[in-house]
Amino acid sequence: QVHLVESGGGLVQSGGALRLSCATSGIRFSLAHMNWYRQVPGKQREFVARITSNGTTSYAGFVKGRFTISRDNTRNTAQLQMNLLEPEDTAVYYCKTNLKGRDFWGRGTLVTVSS
């Protein structure tokens, strides 16, 4: 079975940093495109970052150079390094991949940024 498990969320002050990790199982990780999304209660889930199987990265406009997505194919994990965090970044962050047209999501990790 496919499982994605996020970790690394927590409470940080504005301007601080967090490193999120997405541990995967049940997939051929080296062939998978990995994505991070985030969601605030009452709002739609929004795209944050993507890294393809060959390492090409894409970011949402609000990232503004602050975040870096990466992957470690030896550990079957994807990471999201978040720097210069702002209160507006507070959300549940989700890891996502797609297999044969179907999306698979983790359950999320909560990031709270205090002002």
pLDDT band at 62 (very low <50, low <70, confident <90, very high): very high
| Mean pLDDT for all residues in the chain | 97
Which residue in 47, 33, 22 sits closest to 100, CA to CA?
33
Q: What is the pLDDT of residues 20-58, one digit of tens each?
A: 999 999 999 999 999 999 999 999 999 999 999 999 999
Rounded to 10 degrees, the C-alpha dihedral 39/42/43/47 comes to 20
Output the CA torsion sign for 9, 64, 59, 48: positive
Give mean pLDDT, residues 11-22. 98
Q: Categorise residue 107: left if φ over 0, alpha if ψ from -120 to 50, beta otherwise.
A: alpha
Cα 84 to Cα 54: distance, rounded to the nearest angstrom? 27
- Alpha carbon 101 to chain centroid distance? 20
Residue found by looking up tokens 């199982």 in the block: 25
Side-chain-side CA neighbours of residue 2 (13 Å): 16
